[in-house]
Amino acid sequence: MKALEWICLTLVVVGALNWGLVGLLQFDLVAALFGGETAPLSRVVYSLVGAAGIALLGLRTRNEMAHSMA
């Protein structure tokens, strides 16, 4: 797995853990760590997690297509 995929996967896991905590415990870990939901650093983290999810989807789809053509 390439470095970009690892970074994206790590961010997606962070997002999944955060949403799991929000759903189960009503606790937003990102907001707690970075100063609230609307704090600039929290918004950066939320944005990076979203972008990583989209990028990972594209990367994995591209890899699957390359493997199916081989």
- The Cβ of residue 42 has, within 10 Å, a number of other Cβ atoms equal to 18
Provide the residue range defining the domain that includes 36: 3-69
Cα 64 to Cα 70: distance, rounded to the nearest angstrom: 10
**pTM of the prediction?**
0.84
Amino acid identity of residue 61, one-letter, is T
* Domains identified in the chain, total number: 1
> According to the 3-state scheme, what is the secondary structure of 15-57?
HHHHHHHHHHHCCCHHHHHHCCCCCHHHHHHHHHHHHHHHHHH
pLDDT tens digits, one per residue of 12-67: 999 999 999 999 999 999 999 999 999 999 999 999 999 999 999 998 887 777 77
